[in-house]
Every structure is written in C-alpha cells, then in structure tokens.
Amino acid sequence: MRPGRTPEDRLREALRARADEVEPSPDALPRIRARAARAWTGRLWTIVGTVAAVATAIAAGVVAVQVNRAPRDNPPAAGGAGHSPRPSLNATTATISLPAYFTNHGRLYREFLPATAMTDEGRIEAAVELSLLGRAKDPDYRSLWPGTVKVNRVTISQAQVTVDLGGVGAKPDDPKLAVQQLLYTVAAAATYTSIKHADGIRLLVDGRAQPRLWGAVDTGGAMRPGLLAELQGPVWVIEPDEGAVVGKTFTVYLAGVVVEGTLDLRVRNAAGELVDERTVQLSAGAPALGEARLQLTLPAGRYIVEGFVVSEKDGSEEWIDDHDFTVG
C-alpha cells in the first residue's frame, strides 16, 4: 500500500476503474427510455384499476370535474389508458390519433381515432365529437348521446377545460353513463395537449351552465364518479385493433379487471370456424387491471378475435369484446 492512501482513496480508485470498463453506448438513452415506457405501462393499469382519478367540484351552477390524473394511454390505454398507442402527429397534415370513449354492455370502452387538429382546444373538440356522435370503428361500440349533439366550442383557461355543447336533445337511457362518456373523453384527450391534464371540466349547453343535465349531474353537491374499474368494460381486446391488417405472426393484446386475472381468448375464421381457443392469465386480478400479450400465427384471411369471461354461476360467456381483423 502506497503511503498516505486512505480507505476513501482506495474506494474512489476502485469505482473509477470499474467505470472505465463500461464503454459508453450511443443507443443507451433509447433503451432507457424504452424501459421507462414499459414500466409506466404497468403502473398506469394499476392506477386505473385502483384509483378514482376524477372528482367533481360544482359551483355557481357550473359542472366542474376535478381530475387528479387523466387516463393517459401509453402502450399498452384506456385507455388508456394505459393500453393504447401514443398518438402519431404528422406536422404537415396535423393528423393525430385521439382517445374517444364509447359504451357497450353498459360500460365504457375506448378507441384511438384519427382527427385533424392543430390546437389544444381543437384536439379536445375533435375527440368529444368523435365520442358523442358514436364514430367508433367497432360496430359494437356506441354513444349514449343523441345524434343531434354538437360541440359549439372548447376553451382552456389555466388547465381548466370548458365544453359548450348544442343539440343535446332528449334524455338517454343511461344519463349518468352518458355524462361519464363525455368526462372521460375530455380528460383523456387533454393528456394529448400542452396542458397534459385537465384541472377541471366545465360543461355548458348553448353557452349556459346546467343546474341538472338529464338529472344525472346535481350541482347542489359534489359529484364523485365511480372508479374506472366500475365504469370500464371488464375485458378489452386492444390488439389487433378493429379492422387492422396484421402479419402472419402477430400480437394479441388483452386487458381486463377480472377475478383471479383469468379470461378466455377465442379466434374464429371468416366461416365461423374455431382456429384458436385458450385461457389467458393476466398480470393481475381484480380489483387491479391486468394485461397480457401473446403471439399467434395464422394463414392469410379474415378473422374475429374474442376476449371474454365465463360466468361462475351458469357458465355463460360474459363481457365479450371482439375485433374483426385481417391477416395479410
């Protein structure tokens, strides 16, 4: 040992020698970002399944919904989380894929749909219009709002979003779920703007605040929507997307809030013949939201992929979510 070398000196030399063994990699940052994105995906679904992300504060005759964390939708999403692709933005055409919520089985389901929107307000307005007018790709998904509804205007002030609707019309069969369809679409779309999340959502009809919208929103007290786990469809087929064209080997991506994290997968061809059927174990069981990815290989042709759960009471198939797709 050289004279005057302390234990701290030896430790620094050892660390420096170890650092010299590691060659800097030009692609390290992308790999780190990719790992971070995958980690965020798992955290998002846990948040979605266990946290009430939206709270409403109502004052001065205006509906105000407080959003602690909007249903953001990284891959995986219903998003939103998340369980869907990040939006793709073309700088020339300003075409972006935006999240829009629809209903099926009395629950909320989400799709990402293309829209042309340059501004923050325009993106939210486009997503709301797609949602309320029921412009889903999946024919099973629909809107609870009347076909006469329109978006008069969307404004943003200090991260508070105001949506002014027109043509609201008659009361739907499920007014509370209809309101949730709107609120979650606004909250999700806001995550694809510069404000990142909506601190509050104000709802107007033809420029006027609504004391009660179809009796579903009471401004005399705070409205607290249920958990996403109670509003969202228990089984989602995320990939292949409705109408997608995939390669012969492709990914089936499923998510859900189901007992013991177990659901069933079935694939049929265009003739209705069964080509694949199996039980799939998700990453988590209810009340958390689990997910699973698996690879399938099929010959060219049209298919339907179905995700569902089997009732413990009578063996019936419940919460079926299906997508029509093509293997190219």
CB-based contacts of 143, cutoff 8 Å, min separation 6: 102, 103, 131, 132, 133, 134, 178, 181
pLDDT for 6: 54
Amino acid type, 247: G
Distance of CA 257 to the CA centre of its chain: 14
Fold category of 234-327 in CATH? Immunoglobulin-like (2.60.40)
Confidence of residue 93 (pLDDT cuts 50, 70, 90): low
Percent of the chain with pLDDT over 70: 68
Q: Which residue has the higher pLDDT, 149 or 312?
A: 149
Q: How far apart are CA 245 and CA 135, in angstroms?
A: 20
Gap between the Cα atoms of 255 and 260, Å rounded = 13
Amino acid 53 reads A
pLDDT score at 199: 81
Is residue 70's pLDDT more than 70? no
Identify whether the C-beta of residue 209 lies closer than 8 Å to the C-beta of residue 288: no
Note the pLDDT of residue 45. Answer: 39
Tell me what pLDDT residue 217 has: 61
Give pTM, 2 decimals: 0.72
Does 205 have pLDDT greater than 80?
A: yes
- Greater model confidence, 45 or 240: 240
| Contacts of residue 271, Cβ cutoff 8 Å, sequence gap at least 6 | none
pLDDT tens-digit readout, 141-200: 999 999 999 999 999 998 888 999 999 988 898 998 999 899 889 999 999 999 998 888
Domain ranges of the chain: 46-230, 234-327
The answer to whether residue 236 scores a pLDDT higher than 80 is yes
Predicted local confidence at residue 94, as pLDDT: 73
In angstroms, the Cα distances linking 182 to 79, 108, 178, 186, 212 are 14, 11, 7, 6, 15
Tell me the longest C-alpha to C-alpha distance in the chain.
90
Pick 169 or 36 by higher pLDDT: 169
- In which band, very low, low, confident or very high, does the pLDDT at 324 lie, cut at 50, 70 and 90? very high
pLDDT in tens, 242-276: 999 999 999 999 999 999 999 999 999 999 999 99
Q: Is residue 74 a contact partner of residue 40, using CB atoms and an 8 Å limit? A: yes
Please compute the mean of the pLDDT values over residues 229-241 and round it to a whole number.
92
Q: What is the mean pLDDT of the chain?
A: 77
Residue-level pLDDT at 214? 80
